Amino acid sequence: MRSRGGVSVVTEVRLSVPVERVWDELMFFEQVPRRAPLILRLLLPTPVRAEGARCAVGDETRCVYKQGYMLKRTTQVDRWRRYSFEVAEQRMPVGVGIRLLSGGYALREVADRATRLAVETRYASPRRPAWLWRPVEAAVCRAFHHHILEAIRERAESPPASAG
């Protein structure tokens, strides 16, 4: 999907837990604990850790990668509905010259207290011809989204750890 100021890719899943549980996992989600699929390991920077808050508009999170870092600034927090950020600084390679612009998560309660969770990434790409590269970029972006969404699903849908 083409959006103002870049290309936007959105991926959506249904989770079998209430929106409040998904929101909690999303807001305290640091990084995916399991190994990324091969395509992501080959094409994207390797994440190391995330530092900083992201619960309020203006908060900044520094995402550290083996190959550099990215600084994300929170632009919208609408509890149980939407979390958005802009990329304030990118000092890491993504593809050949791809610049990440913004992203976010949208949550919507559906039947049986389940949740629809959508993740969006907006980026600018210098690759030409665009008609050739957009499908490839979108496929890699969706693979990344699915990797994140499945990790959130595993955490949100697993029974809470018992105390004691």
Quick check: is 164 in a domain?
Answer: no
Quick check: is 63 in a domain?
Answer: yes
Quick check: is 21 in a domain?
Answer: yes
Both tokens assigned to 13: 């899943």
Domain that holds residue 112: 2-157
Tell me what pLDDT residue 20 has. 92
Alpha helix (H) residue ranges in 14-129: 19-27, 38-43
Tell me what pLDDT residue 89 has. 94
Quick check: is 64 in a domain?
Answer: yes
Quick check: is 120 in a domain?
Answer: yes
- pTM, full prediction: 0.86
Quick check: is 163 in a domain?
Answer: no
Torsion of CA 34, 35, 36, 37, to 10 degrees: -120
DSSP-derived letter for residue 37 is P
List the pLDDT tens digit at each of the 164 positions of the chain.
444 578 999 999 999 999 999 998 887 765 666 777 787 877 777 788 888 888 899 999 998 888 889 999 999 999 999 999 999 999 987 766 789 999 999 999 999 999 999 999 999 998 889 899 899 889 888 998 998 898 888 888 887 665 44
Burial of 115-151, coded b for 16+ CB within 10 Å and e otherwise, reads bebbbbbbbebeeeeeeebbeebbebbbbbbbbbbeb
CA distance between the termini of the chain = 49
Torsion of CA 150, 153, 154, 157, to 10 degrees: -160
Tell me what pLDDT residue 98 has. 85
Quick check: is 137 in a domain?
Answer: yes
Q: Give the total number of structural domains in the chain.
A: 1
Residue whose token pair is 């549980």: 21
Quick check: is 151 in a domain?
Answer: yes
CATH number at residue 14: 3.30.530.20
Tell me what pLDDT residue 159 has. 75
